[in-house]
Chains A and B, each alone.
Chain A
Amino acid sequence: MGGAGNRARAGRLMLWDWNYTFEILPELARAALVTIEATLIGFVLAATLGLALAILRMAKNPAISIPATVFVEFIRSTPLLIQIFFLFFVFPHFGITLSGFTAGVLALGVHYGAYCSEVYRAGFENIPRSQWEAALALNLGIVDTFRSIIIPQAIPPVIPALGNYLIALFKETPLLSAIAVLELMQTAKILGSESFRYTEPITLVGLFFLVMSLVSAALVRLVETWLGRVGRRV
């Protein structure tokens, strides 16, 4: 292994350079943290916004439900990359200047929030009308009905579906490289352009996504089984 670096310095073509690999690992690890941070903040935003949108879409007042529906359809029908560019390049024209990270995370959150709202909606639609009627007969207000009766029943069955969007969102974070956020992809590109070796950085990034996705998918399945077991009780 020790000879690998020497051969690289000699400029000879080689498939994989272990010395170079270990050299760039710390920087990629730092970038991985940015990717994870963007994923987690983005998903918390998506899960929250999605829930709010799903509830607004159920409003009896069309002045509330229609704009919410239009918003969701609009977001779902336009590419995430355009939304990222819009927040980063167009918003400043309206006096809102966001850092690359903020714009990127916001776009991820809003984009996947629209998708999550559909998941929540399916969850809400699975609650029988009789549960709403029981809540009304007990004189529970709309906020208490959602908080105590509807949400606790609607959310657990859709957690696996939400988990899948968490993984999907995670895999879309490389798009943030398009606005120069120093997440994994962008960092790998820079490392590659500095050393003219792209094989190691790009492969490592790919491996990282592979491992993280597999682990997350396994976690989602675990939660699913656990929910199934809890679900049998209720």
Chain B
Amino acid sequence: MTDNAPMVRFDGVRKTYGPLTVLDELCLDIARNEKVAMIGPSGSGKTTVLRMLMTLERIDGGVIYVEGEPLTHMERNGKLVPADQRHLRRVRAKIGMVFQQFNLFPHMSAMRNCMEAPIRVLGLSRKDAEARAAELLEMVGLGDKKDHYPSQLSGGQQQRVAIARALAMRPKVMLFDEVTSALDPELVGEVLNVIRKLGTEHNLTMLMVTHQMGFAKEFADRVCFFYKGRIAEEGPPQQIFVQPREERTRQFLCAVLEAG
């Protein structure tokens, strides 16, 4: 069953903050290895989608499935009940996330940042964790910065460490939450290059919230345009960026292009 199921399925997912509806009955299937870019004005709910999938936010309605298995719920006697910690941790292990502000652990070297969770959570030996961390840091082009602390690295370098750190947990789904928004313009490229490389060399399902329209167009298999808590339009990049069907999409893209 899990083989045919979409990698991630949002089924009528709702999120509210008091009277404010952030996400309204979101239905979205993401296939295995699919690269989905989520664009839209701020406050449109796209970041919330990633945060709910990472279980950083509670959902107020609907169910999220990962490989056919409910994420925040579990089946008991044929009924869906809220998940317990064990279930959450097991399903969450399939998902990794990279944050806008990197969120590296400032008291650990780049290497240690990438080793801590594999040792504590996956039970890797120190030696294995070290080898894996070194390999990943090499892949993101930071083989020579292993022993540097986050404060000794540029924003772009920190973000690449953060990507390596998430990959060290061997997730099946990677979430990128505006990962270049906090970077100086000249550092954006090095991070996008790493993501590009991930897309071609690894079997990863990727969801990214981004304002880099050029990158979304070139990299994504599908683009979802969020507007006021709903997906206003979705389709291949060619459709969204070249021939958007919705007026709102057109307006948003015009505004972004002008600003860019």
Q: Point out residues on A near B: beta carbons under 8 Å.
A: 130-131, 133-134, 136-141, 144, 148-149, 152-153, 233-234
Contact = CB atoms under 8 A, between A and B. Distances in A.
Contact of A149 (B105, B121, B165, B166): B105
B198 interface: no
B117 interface: yes
Contact of B117 (A133, A140, A234): A140
Given A138-B121, A140-B117, A234-B106, 14 more contacts: A130-B101, A131-B103, A134-B104, A134-B105, A136-B54, A137-B97, A137-B99, A138-B165, A139-B92, A148-B105, A149-B105, A152-B107, A233-B151, A234-B150
Contacts of A138: 96, 116-117, 121, 165-166, 169
Given A130-B103, A137-B166, A234-B149, A148 B56 contact: no
B120 interface: yes
Contact of B169 (A139, A152, A233): A139
Interface of B: 54-56, 89, 92-93, 95-97, 99, 101, 103-107, 116-117, 120-121, 149-152, 165-166, 169
Nearest to B168: A138
6 contacts: A134-B105, A137-B54, A138-B165, A139-B92, A140-B121, A149-B116
A133 B55 CA distance: 9
The interface residues of chain A, by DSSP majority, are classed as: helix
Given A130-B99, A137-B56, A137-B97, A234 B169 contact: no
Nearest to B98: A137
A138 B96 CA distance: 7
Contacts of B105: 131, 134, 148-149, 153
A137 B99 CA distance: 10
A139 to B, nearest CB: 5
A144 B120 contact: yes
A172 to B, nearest CB: 33
Contacts of B92: 136, 139
A133 B100 CA distance: 12
Contact of B55 (A130, A136, A233, A234): A136
Contacts of B151: 233-234
B89 A133 contact: no
Contacts of B116: 138, 140, 148-149
Contacts of A233: 149, 151-152
Contacts of B121: 138-141, 144
Given A148-B116, A233-B151, A139 B103 contact: no
Contact of B96 (A137, A141, A153): A137
The 7 closest A-B pairs by CB, nearest first: A138-B117, A134-B103, A137-B97, A144-B120, A130-B103, A234-B106, A234-B107
Contacts of A144: 120-121
B107 A153 contact: yes
A211 B120 CA distance: 46
Contacts of B103: 130-131, 133-134
A232 to B, nearest CB: 8
Contacts of B166: 137-138
A133 B152 CA distance: 22
B89 A139 contact: yes
B139 to A, nearest CB: 18
A149 B117 CA distance: 10
A33 B90 CA distance: 54
Contacts of B56: 133, 136-137
Contacts of B101: 130
A221 B201 CA distance: 53
B231 to A, nearest CB: 24
Which of the listed residues A130, A138, A148 has the most CB atoms from chain B within 10 Å of its own CB? A138
Contacts of A234: 106-107, 149-151
B99 A133 contact: yes
Contacts of B93: 139
Contacts of A139: 89, 92-93, 117, 121, 169
A234 to B, nearest CB: 5
A133 to B, nearest CB: 5
Nearest to B91: A139
A229 to B, nearest CB: 13
A129 to B, nearest CB: 10
A132 B96 CA distance: 15
